[in-house]
Chain A
Amino acid sequence: MTTRIRRRPVWLLCAATLLSLLSTAACRDITTLQQKDPSQLDAGSLFVPANAQLLVNGAISDFECSYIRYVVGSGILGDELVDAISFIANYDYDRRTMPTSAPYGTGDCTSQQVPGVYTPLSVARASADTILAKLEGWTDAEVPNRTKLIGQSAAYAGYSLILLGEGMCSAAINIGPEMTSDQLFAEAKSRFDKAIAAATTAGDETTLHFAQLGRARAYLDMGDLANAATDAAEIPEGFVVAVNTDAADVRRQNLVYMHTTQGNFSSVDPSFRNVMWDTIPDPRVAVSDLGVMGSDGHTEIWLADKYSTVTSPIPIARWAEAQLILAEAAVDAEHLEDAAAIINDLHARAGIATPAYDVTGATKEEVLAQVIEERRRELFLEGHRLGDVRRYELPLVPAPGAAYVSGGTYGDQRCFPLPDVERIHNPNL
């Protein structure tokens, strides 16, 4: 009997080995198909307790960048800066005729010539709120200084909401419904409440006063002058929190300096040139004529002396602001002499003690007007003026309808309208 046993040829073995090798390699790579960008941090693994400080730093950095842009953007829409470049988007800021599709809505933290307002503030608010919620979920064992960090992130979230409330006609947060300025101020107050509680527990004096002054500003914006005064009174003399700018990073450069002196995109508004107290130039609004023409060919560039370099710090909150809140509350309470004392103290510190401001015979309205004027000068290019113009319903200069030098006429916008980018892409609007 013959039995033929078939030889298993070598090729079969080879093919099987090859196939298994190939599939092993392939399977391993299926698992590594997860891609990773080495220049970025992955959102999925970023929010861990070990990164708490990094994320709070990030939230502060986002606020600082948005604040720098807000100072310039609100300065041009308001009456602190004037356009100096022939570019339609810049005209619209200055002319108070911004369409809701304009770059104030979409420009991000790298925007310079046309500074973004809504996107940087929204990102800053969200960054701070996001890490705040994470910190509240973590434990003290996981995160050193957790309470202090809660205080910081809540305070910066509050300031973002203050600026959204003062600068935007309306806004949304967390893809939510449209909110009025008052609703935004109420949100801001709740953040400051949280910040004050946390900073008190943590013994973090700076954040405590920063949040107290922020809450005072929120009360002021809501018309609650008594509570505003209570918080403002807590601010110690000389207190200041400022953006520490740096020369290299576009997010942190002093954009007022860059926009005026470097870019020739804008100039100090004529109403802030040569502002006097009696016969003395008011040093708080010292400006210099740089003797160069803006890119539009007809606007002379003036520089605000307080921001004479790319690294000049920009104050966010300081003692003088608290004093002016106290002055305003004093006027409201008809304590006009108290208001005058505060104003004279601030004058003395600025070197314009004489002649002293005298409220003898002055009406409440007249003293309030002086407080507003003091705010205009003291807080020049510190992100307050647009909110004041809106809150006090100050007359717009030049008046709406007046001819704009580069074409068209002035509009009547006192705040940035909710931009298309939010209205179209937020499903809750």
Chain B
Amino acid sequence: MRILLGRHLSGSSLATGCLALVMAVLSVVPDASAQGADSDGILTGPRFLVALTSSPSNTVPLDIERAPALRRRISLDLRNAKVADALAAIAARSGVRLVYTEDVIARTKRVTLRADAITTAAALTDVLVGAGVDLVFSGDGAEAVLVPSGRHAHVQLGTIVGHVTDSRSHEGIPGVAVRIEGGTQGALTDQDGAYRIPGVTPATYTVSARRIGYTAARVQVTVVADQDATADLALEAAATSLDQVVVTGTVGAEQRRSIGNAVASVSAPDVLAKSASPNLGSLLNARAPGVVVVPNSGRLGAGPNIQIRGRSSLSLDNSPLIYIDGVRVNNAVGTGPGQQGFGSQNADVGGRLNDISPEDIESIEIIKGPAAATIYGTEAANGVIQIITKKGQTGKPRLSAQVQTGALYFRDPEGRVPTNLVPDESGALVAWNGVKEEADRGTPIFTNGQTRLYNLSLSGGLEQFGYYLSGAYQNDLGIEPNNKLRQFSSHANLTVTPNQKVDVGVSLNYVDRSNHLGADVGASPMLGAEMGHSLLFPAARGFYPNFPPEVPQQLYDNFQGINRFTGSGTINHRPTTWFSHRLIAGVDYTGSDSRALERFAPPELAQFLGPVIAAGQIHQTLENNTVITADYSATARASLTSSISSATSVGGQFYRTELNSSSLGGTSFPGPGVETVSATAQQTNSTQSQIINTTIGAYFQEQIGFDDRIFLTGAVRVDNNSAFGDEFKWVTYPKVSASWVLSEEPFWNFDFVNTLKLRAAYGESGRQPNAFSALRSYTPVPGPNGTNGVTPGSAGNSDLKPERGREVELGFDADLFDRLHLDFTYFSKRTSDEIVSQPVAPSGGFPGDQLANLGKVSNRGIELGATFQALRRDELSWEITGNIATNKDRIEDLGGLSSIIAPGQNNIAGYPIGGYFAKHIVSAERDQTTGGVASYLCDGGPGAGAVDCTVAPLLFVGTPTPKVTGSIGNTVTLFERLRLYALVDFKRGNTIANSIEQFRCSGVLGIGYCDANYHPENYSPAYLAQLSPSRNATGLNEAFFQDASFVKLREVSASYTLPENWLKSVGVSRAVVTLAGRELHTWTDYRGVDPEVNALASASNALSFDQGVIPPLSQLVATINLTF
């Protein structure tokens, strides 16, 4: 009798599918292995075959990937059932028609099988295990005939072997994840790109290979018992490609095709091979649209501010979060010693970003705002930068060594530091340029610095173990004797794969940094030269404020010592084909010792100082900062129908940041050489603080994929942060995104478009209040007669909640004409609940201000990244990369706070954050006899016409945040050996306060130093009207808020790969020599020293102010890279 079982699938509803999936996740019932293979490789289940002709006898193994009906998930509850009944149940639930004669299953035994969301294939295997039956399927897998297997014993297994190579260089690629699609088996390639997957059931499979930076490749292979089946794959390198895997902003590793938001990625080895970037800041600069690196100062050790998509917070930190291998790390900027005795000495410029050695980085991924960062929750509204370190690869040990040496210099200091003019007694103008005077005298202020970097790494691995070990030593000298940097760093990355379902990674990083930061502003030689003149300060060879350069250079020592450890462990577990989960835990510890030392002055220097100052002083701050991360996520994947897939994820994170800080100080050392606080005559300023911030959060994410072309993702994140007010506990951030790989649609027939993905995302995330700002607290104070008392300290705000960013991102990724890649994004972000300081009525009993969630800020702009392979021949290739981004920030609302505009920078509704305001001169008359200004009128504001400047309003001048940023890089490779590279980057539309020009030309010191002061006839009367300190003080200083737009020739390099046959005899497999230059030319209309300096660097303010700051230094560097 021929039995027919089954029904035609009527199509399953999405809701049912989701429910089943959730059930599956909740019940956590393990899947049966699709082919029923035991751990010892013995197979007892049925073979899945496909008939090549109409005869069931002519068969080959079926590729289950191509049989959706077999991958469909069903639930069964069979207790001691007959096999016939079991088959009937499977057929009914799966829609697969099963055809057999009773004799085929005559000898089967009863079965018991209870499972949720088991695949049809697994169910059939379980029911028919040991039955001596094979299944011969129709081509579409919808129907199967049960036949006697003709073999009743164990089936032998086969092996898949192969090489994965770079499609252009044909070299093996190590560390590629090769996987049998739809199964759990896979392998990593070794150093030569070879891999081996043993124990594979004979069948036809699709094997895929994926690695960051390459397009994934797939190939079909048919495995035969007891034989090696070869599957070689060639991967195409791609800057961005749909199958590239990213890990930032996603729950686990995810292909770009399914991600609805922009993720920028930077391949660190590629960048370093060309640019010799000395630190992470310069490695990131100009690589990704919308990611702006502001160097602030050229001093060695100065850390940059990083802004992604401009500024969006009025009072909080605008820096992105930094992660290393999934662990959050200290991202402080503006740290270190900053206090000095003889004059203010600049904001603190140390930054923790540059502790990380660029050589240890594999890639950097950047997500730019709330639309992408929702699952990071509160704190992530400024975006996230994830640093992925290098990992070991299977294969023989590989030793790499790098030696780098070069020079640092202040390009054209005599031309860029202004020449000052002062008339002598006879009225003749005397020109004085401090840099030139000192150079002529044989005591140049700025000498050439040098950089030396030695780096050694060892990587390799056995089948189940990979390692990467490295050590680097850097020793740089700045252009001033009190600016030095010495850093030792070591990094170890270990990967263990005990079996194919588990891998464990450990990443360890240690940095010992000793940095003498030098000094800017205040009494620095730079300011001394900018504001000095030999006729005014003759005793100090002309230097302002009356001491020569050697005084600060020899007496000032701003030191920062860093000991930093970052360690993390990651466990990935893929127990079944449909479920995987991951745990990351780690710690980032930074111990820092910051000392602002002013040494006891020897007599030759003491003569320039008062006795108190000459006796020296010290302030020391000791800090330890710990960031702890625990991050768990789990994902269940399922095929709801043959074309709809689902990925359901849940996760939770815990972060704890603890900063302990104590500072002490003292003045007056007893003599030279003594440099400790305890040796001072008067000890001062002893303070201690402890700040702990804790975040705990969880998210749920559901992603539905249609035909691997359309992906819809929805997520909800909830979290709580210890800085929230008591009345405000949990915050919820939603996210939705969609991506559509249009180019893979059947109707798409534009051949010149290789790939086109459209994406759209909406997401929210936050920015937590500063620690303690929600608390109502009282401060201990001395009471009457030596008692203790308390006084109202901070009014606090128990309703204080995070600033909430809401962002929409729309864009596309496209590959065109096989050579042009484009990546376009439009974003619009609104930040509400901006934390604003609001005064409180004193009659309530608390002094000062209270923070409240009042303001609204909007940011919008576009970002475009492009890579164009202009030429692609073996003897000559030319690649052009470029990016451009715009950003416009606007304060929409300040919650009704009265906004009084003061001269300078203000936050005013309707204008950008930190906008510059000044009076605007609309007309000015020249005095024909003196050449100076006779009269002038100012803009009276809208509709008011020209008015007397004393009553004129302050009008908007400009924003400190660049409106347009971008870069263009060119790489030309000749004969695959010589590579020439140049990068130009630019910022436009931002304004900087040129205080030096204002001080010099307005004559703050009682006399003007500028040509305009002595040849007024050559200058506009409107400019001349602003050369007055008292007028400047009332806001008549628009001329000194200057456009800081620039174009810089940022990087130039030539590198040559030595012929291999030269090297073989000395055991070197590869050698590359690179000559690189940085910061070689600037095109700008800005009249100060450099448009990128900022004397008041800090992550939370929007100040941009040029005063006595060393500009970013130029560099010429030679590097040799050897691989053994």
Contact = CB atoms under 8 A, between A and B. Distances in A.
Given A11-B501, A22-B652, A40-B777, A126 B792 contact: yes
Contacts of A175: 841, 843-844
Nearest to B782: A249
Interface string A49-70: 0000111011111101100000
B667 interface: no
Nearest to A176: B843
Contact of B839 (A6, A12, A176, A425): A425
A90 interface: no
A360 interface: no
A15 B581 contact: yes
Nearest to B501: A11
Interface in B765-804: 771-772, 774-785, 787-794, 796
A106 B843 CA distance: 11
B840 interface: yes
Contacts of B32: 6
A244 B783 CA distance: 10
Contacts of B694: 29, 32-33, 35
A141 interface: no
A11 B842 contact: no
Contacts of A122: 842-845
Contacts of A48: none
B845 A126 contact: yes
Interface in B667-702: 688-694, 696
B696 A425 contact: no
Interface string A136-178: 0000000000000000000000000000000000011111100
A179 B926 CA distance: 56
A58 B839 contact: no
B654 A126 contact: no
A12 B842 contact: no
B685 to A, nearest CB: 12
Interface in B223-273: none
B632 A22 contact: yes
Given A9-B575, A101-B900, A251-B782, A25 B841 contact: no
A165 to B, nearest CB: 14
A33 B782 contact: no
B629 to A, nearest CB: 12
B781 A251 contact: yes
Interface string A1-42: 111101011011001001100110110011011111111111
Contact of A64 (B784, B788, B845): B784
Nearest to A243: B784
Contacts of B791: 58, 61-62, 65, 109, 123, 127, 251
Interface string B724-751: 0010000000000000000000000000
B841 A421 contact: yes
A143 B356 CA distance: 58
B850 to A, nearest CB: 9
A274 to B, nearest CB: 34
Interface in B85-112: 109-112
A12 B772 CA distance: 41
B575 A11 contact: yes
A120 to B, nearest CB: 7
B696 A29 contact: yes
B689 A19 contact: no
Given A11-B501, A35-B693, A4 B777 contact: no
Nearest to A55: B790
B838 interface: yes
A58 B630 contact: no
Nearest to B783: A57
B782 A54 contact: no
A426 interface: yes
A62 to B, nearest CB: 5
A58 B787 CA distance: 9
B109 A1 contact: yes
B612 to A, nearest CB: 15
A1 B720 contact: no
Interface string A413-429: 00000011110111000
Given A1-B110, A35-B772, A40 B794 contact: yes
B782 A42 contact: no
Contacts of A118: 842
A244 B791 CA distance: 17
B126 A4 contact: yes
A123 B583 contact: no
Given A11-B573, A41-B777, A60 B789 contact: yes
A286 B129 CA distance: 113
B30 interface: yes
A35 B778 contact: no
A106 B837 CA distance: 14
Nearest to A152: B784
Contacts of B527: none
A40 B772 contact: yes
B732 to A, nearest CB: 16
A399 B979 CA distance: 83
B789 A126 contact: no
A366 interface: no
A376 interface: no
Interface in B832-859: 838-848
A6 B30 contact: yes
A25 B841 CA distance: 42
A197 to B, nearest CB: 23
Contacts of A59: 789
Contacts of A171: 843
A25 B782 contact: no
Nearest to A19: B632
Contacts of B1065: none
Interface string B115-146: 10000000000100110000000000000000
Contacts of B891: none
B838 A35 contact: no
Contacts of B109: 1-2
A35 B775 contact: yes
B781 A29 contact: no
A252 to B, nearest CB: 6
A234 interface: no
B290 to A, nearest CB: 33
B871 interface: no
B28 interface: yes
B898 interface: yes
A246 B782 contact: yes
Interface in A227-247: 244, 246
Given A1-B109, A29-B694, A58-B778, A123 B575 contact: no
B500 interface: no
A1 B898 contact: no
A193 interface: no
Contacts of A9: 30, 575
Contacts of B772: 35, 37, 40
A35 B722 contact: yes
A362 interface: no
9 contacts: A4-B126, A35-B693, A40-B772, A58-B783, A61-B783, A62-B789, A126-B844, A172-B841, A249-B781
